[in-house]
Amino acid sequence: MKFLKRIFKRQEKVPCPKVTLPFDAEIKKIQEDYLFAFLIFLIIAAFSTYFYSKEVVHKNELVEVLVFSQNFSDPKEIEKSDVHAEKFSRKKITETTIFDFEEIMGKTLIRPVVKNEILQLHHFQDAVDPESVSSEFNEFFAFAMDESWFVAKVPNIKKNDLIDILVSNPTYNLDQTTTVASAIKVLSVTDQKGKTIVVNLTETDAQKILFARGLKLPMNILVRPSVAEVEFN
């Protein structure tokens, strides 16, 4: 019996030593580096997606703000009955948006506004007699601008439409876009080798627009089609 065990033991294969070639070791190292880089990329992508989706949800969140209940073309002290609360997404809210009526108590509306327009601080001025600025609303004059003034083609607008002139600073992002002239009435539109629009505005708004053009700041037009037939005195 012991003899048989010795025979079988001799017949057992002796395991070969495992040899790793330098080339195989280098390939394995490269594979591990790629796997590590891929895992880092997945982690960064996951965090970026998480924060981006969180930002989108935040911007689309509805916030209650104050809007005008009707059109106003004369300077006046706004009463609570002249405004009401509406919900807008945060992406439409600016730093000058008014959320509480207390913010405008004792202030005077100093520029034309339209129904459902969001109240902004630049609509008002502190401790002003409405009669003292009423003449500003009667000092409108014609002001012409052609398509070369704007970064995009002039949209499809017509006589009596109301438009805003928007300006952005190229050194900042689009969140820095501001309105330099609001609710100005279109007097005429001609289309001869590019559109030319003639609007009705005050000297103050004209100076702001000319100042922006002088600085070569990107300008664009925002049309208010829902109030296209509003007439300002």
CA distance 59 to 89: 6
The 8-class DSSP code of residue 72 comes to B
Which residues neighbour 207 within 8 Å (Cβ) at sequence distance 6 or greater?
A: none
Mean pLDDT of 69-87: 83
Residue 146's pLDDT is: 85
What is the amino acid identity at position 216? K
Give the predicted TM-score (pTM) of the model. Answer: 0.40
Mean of pLDDT values over 164-181: 77
Q: CB count, 10 Å around CB of 108?
A: 20
Q: What was the pLDDT predicted at 8?
A: 53
Q: Is the model more confident about 126 or about 182? A: 182
- Across-strand partners of 182? none
Residue 219's CB is within 10 A of a number of other CB atoms, namely: 19
Arithmetic mean of pLDDT, 213-229: 73
Question: In degrees to the nearest 10, what's the CA dihedral of 214, 168, 183, 114?
Answer: -160
Residue 227 confidence (pLDDT): 40
Question: Which residues does residue 83 pair with via DSSP β-bridges, in sequence order?
Answer: 68
How far apart are the C-alpha atoms of 126 and 130, rounded to whole Å? 11
Higher pLDDT among residues 85 and 76, named by residue: 85
- Return the CATH class of domain 61-137: alpha beta
